[in-house]
Structure 1
Amino acid sequence: MVELAPFKPALKAGFDEVALDPAYAYAVAGGPVSLDQLARVLFAAQGCTARAWGRCLRAAPSAGATYPLQAYAIVRDVEGLEPGFYRYVSPAPFSHRLELVSTGTWEGSGAFAVVLAEVPERTTSVYGERGYMYVREEVGHASQGALLEAGALGLAAEVGEAPPGLGVRAEVKVEVGRRGARGLAREIPEGELPRPPKPKMTLEEAIVARRSVRDYSGEPVELAEVAGLLAWTLGGRLRSYPPLRGSYRVSCYVVARNVEGLKPGVYEYLPLSNSLERISAGDYARRLAYACLGQEWVARAALNVVLCARESSEIAEVEAGMVGQGLYLAATSLGLGTVAVGAFYDDEVASVLGVSERPLYVFPVGKV
């Protein structure tokens, strides 16, 4: 067993900086990394940030706090740590350790890889078949947490398929290592949206502070804050997360109710021009709340961000989770609150938006 130093926010980078210079934009190169770097990436994926209702609340949100994921690390070149396959355990706030499962070597480009094993029964026993979507979205949340933290550490990272032979049920791994050659730079067009404000906290502070927030003050959200949520996470040809299997599948819509500088209505966010295109005018919040099984926070939010996909696929659900983690951390960084809503009538949500796509997530957003 390897006890890791208790997690404490220390890095100065904000969500905006890390999202605009993502870890996946660099080739993962060889060479050792420190044990502290490994610990921070794992914490950002699955660390315990608080305790409530007799259980740990983790860095990645979970449907009904069912937490169907178990994080592992394939260690190849971490200073002071024997190569092998380790279970990551975070039993109390900011406390964490590694438990050696097996020794050996596994191919990969990074100094280590985060492996996200799935125990779907924890979630499907509560939510039935729809729980499988929630599990895949949670894989996306945790993966993006690891990617963002790797970026804050000045490391490179890439998302790929977990290797066979680990003895766990895992589809996804995040390879992390030193930065090699840089690929295409991420650029966000000026567009029609205003320049976002600076975050009120660092990325690591946001990871610790992030919660699912359902109570909002009723004050209007500024359009510049909406621009931060959307542009940092989704704006440009390259987004804050890598194109899974070579392409982006998730599209984004905004149902605005109380946004300063934006008339109530349904809008599509256009990443390539960093702009909002109105689909229909009017206040659709109450109708959207009905489509979300009457969840009142959807009706009370200043706006709702709705994620959809043109195709129904498991990889789109993982991508929606990656977007969702970005929205959570961007909102927290700006002093806003949000919560991931996955329970809704798919056809009704699509009807509110006026699209034929499949809805994957709804994020009410408001001042707190």
Structure 2
Amino acid sequence: MNKNTLSVVLDYHEASKHRLDRYAPGPGGLDWANQPDPFRRYPGTSICELPLRRSPLQISFAEVRCGQRGTPAAMNLTGLATLLELSFGLSAWKEHGESRWALRCNPSSGNLHPTECYVLTPTCDGLRTGVYHYVSHDHTLEHRAEANATWGSELTGGFVLILTSIYWREAWKYGLRAFRYCQHDCGHAIAAVSYAAAALGWHAQLLESWGDTLLAALTGVARSSDFAEQETEAVDVALWVGCANPPKYLDSLQAAVALTNGLHFTGQANRLSAQYVPWTGINAVHHATERPSPPAAGLIQSISWPPLAGIDCPQDASALIRQRRSAVDFDRVTSITIECWFALLDALLPRSELPPWKSWQRPACIHPVLFVHRINGITPGVYLLVRDPSVKSKLQQAIRADAEWTTVPDAPEHLGLYRLFAADARDVARQISCHQNIAADSCFSLGMLAEFGVALNEGAWHYRELFYEAGLLGQVLYLEAEAVGLRGTGIGCYFDDALHEMLGLSSHAWQSLYHFTVGGPIDDPRLRLLPPYGHLIGRWVY
């Protein structure tokens, strides 16, 4: 790859690290009067109100996670509405005093939600063919562009979702590190779409040939005149969602480019903030990691895993997806059974036939370093889950020589779970995660160790994809925790090199890209929880 491009990525990665003696560059305080609007809208477009679903899908989360599917939902406006609600819609409102804020089904760093969703659809139940933008607050589709006549045949049997990121939403709070968090959230969103599609009996799959330039043209985000200064969006990925896998011709560059012919966009994006603070490092890494059309061919996940361990969770999948929350505190008492822990870790293995990995189809590049605190039958300490057996020898060579590499009694043989150090790991987990108690007061916490150097040598855009994979793992952990009566939360603030030093890592070959923690939550009694769409009076609910 281009050495200058690699240098830009590595410079950004180092500059955006939190360190024990200083934090990554940030705003230094929160300018609440200038907080970005969490909802993108396009005034001047025609609007389609979507039906809201409250009846169960008649399939449990336990069935969905194991790959079972009921009768596929009809590929109509009602089905699309349910998919969007369970992927990007509101899950609740919270109130405290005079403050009120929305929660969504897809998790986000700081609840800032930089990810936007665009839908390419054929004519559907009165919905005209074209490009639409989803507004989660109103559960509506805004018609951004009329499409040419060929769309009706080329998109038969499904929809295309294109995800974008608004960097400023995250940079307002997190400064330079915001680029990382936007990529995490894209990974969360990919997984959210994958689980929602599976619950509907549908398939969701990345369209590999659709690079950034094409996605920007299809969504209209390349039209800088439609946006306030510095409030444009960066494109991420395109996903096919349908009753079957995407038509082969659709994942070709020629077919995708043909979709851009004759698009006429309407509407102007709403202004999100009165003022904008530029972060040149974000702009630099954004340009350095642009994804070509088509990118170089990637490897496909091909490991054959045993069936996923089952869990006891009869709850309807849609209900569990809606109840997902990010924990803010843990009780320091709750423990998890060894069986539940093994099943949760098993769900992190990239089985290509199960959500969300069916949508990803990549070799595992990330391997969780686990800080075990309260798991019945497991000695507290530091553990490692090797998600691809072929990289175990690399990890053994990289990690410090005094690591035990002890297999865990009673763990399934395929799990690739090893104890590195037996010890009370609470203090080190807390310190590494920016001195946050949530990393120590839980049942376990973890850092996501990525095979960083190998990925970047394949292309700079893989920097983004590593964070996507971390976000996918995060969404699995969120839902698996809810399914066993616990709660999880992502940890974006951690001291990158402190974890590397603890493991004896000294180069860019391996880097930690996301942290997470799971435990028994403590809810704040001061907060009121309100229904997500109570403000939509008279909307069709079925």
* TM-score, length basis structure 2: 0.60
- 1:47 is aligned to 89
- 2:478 is aligned to 328
What does the per-residue CA deviation read over 1:45-70, in whole Å, with 9 as the maximum and x for residues that have no partner?
A: 21111112422211111111211122
Measure the CA separation in 1 of the matches of 2:323 and 2:67. 23
1:224 and 2:345 are equivalent in the alignment: no
Deviating more after overlay: 299-308 vs 337-346: 299-308
Q: Is the 8 A contact 1:109 1:177 kept in 2?
A: no
- 2:382 is aligned to 266
Measure the CA separation in 2 of the matches of 1:247 and 1:275. 15
Matches within 5 A, 1:344-359: 344-353=494-503, 357-359=510-512
Measure the CA separation in 2 of the matches of 1:22 and 1:353. 39
Q: Is the 8 A contact 1:255 1:284 kept in 2?
A: yes
Matched letter for residue 178 of structure 1 = C
1:289/1:22 CA distance change after superposition, 3 Å: farther
Consecutive unaligned residues of structure 2, counting only runs of 5 or more, are 1-46, 222-233, 247-299, 390-413, 457-462, 522-542
Larger radius of gyration: 2
Matches within 5 A, 1:266-285: 266-271=382-387, 273-285=414-426
Matched letter for residue 220 of structure 2 = G
* TM-score, length basis structure 1: 0.87
- 1:26 is aligned to none
Q: Is the 8 A contact 1:41 1:149 kept in 2?
A: yes
Root mean square deviation, CA, Å: 2.8
What does the per-residue CA deviation read over 1:166-213, in whole Å, with 9 as the maximum and x for residues that have no partner?
A: 2123121211112259x999964379xxx5531252321121111111
- 1:98 is aligned to 141
1:59/1:348 CA distance change after superposition, 3 Å: same
- 1:214 is aligned to 328
Measure the CA separation in 2 of the matches of 1:210 and 1:66. 16
Deviating more after overlay: 347-356 vs 112-121: 347-356
Higher strand share: 1
- 2:315 is aligned to 201
Matched letter for residue 248 of structure 1 = A
What does the per-residue CA deviation read over 1:70-98, in whole Å, with 9 as the maximum and x for residues that have no partner?
A: 2111112534421111111121xxx5111
1:60 and 2:106 are equivalent in the alignment: yes
1:229/1:245 CA distance change after superposition, 3 Å: closer
Measure the CA separation in 1 of the matches of 2:190 and 2:145. 23
**SS state at 2:440 partner:** helix
Measure the CA separation in 1 of the matches of 2:514 and 2:109. 12
Shift of 1:246: 4.2
Matched letter for residue 322 of structure 2 = V
Q: Is the 8 A contact 1:73 1:86 kept in 2?
A: yes
Matches within 5 A, 1:283-322: 283-311=424-452, 313-322=463-472
Measure the CA separation in 1 of the matches of 2:53 and 2:359. 30
Matches within 5 A, 1:73-112: 73-76=119-122, 78-91=124-137, 96-105=139-148, 111-112=158-159
Shift of 1:104: 0.5
Consecutive unaligned residues of structure 1, counting only runs of 5 or more, are 24-31
**SS state at 1:133 partner:** helix
**SS state at 1:309 partner:** strand
Over the matched positions of the two proteins, sequence identity in percent amounts to 27
Measure the CA separation in 1 of the matches of 2:169 and 2:337. 39
- How many residue pairs get matched? 354
1:20 and 2:69 are equivalent in the alignment: no
Measure the CA separation in 2 of the matches of 1:335 and 1:345. 29
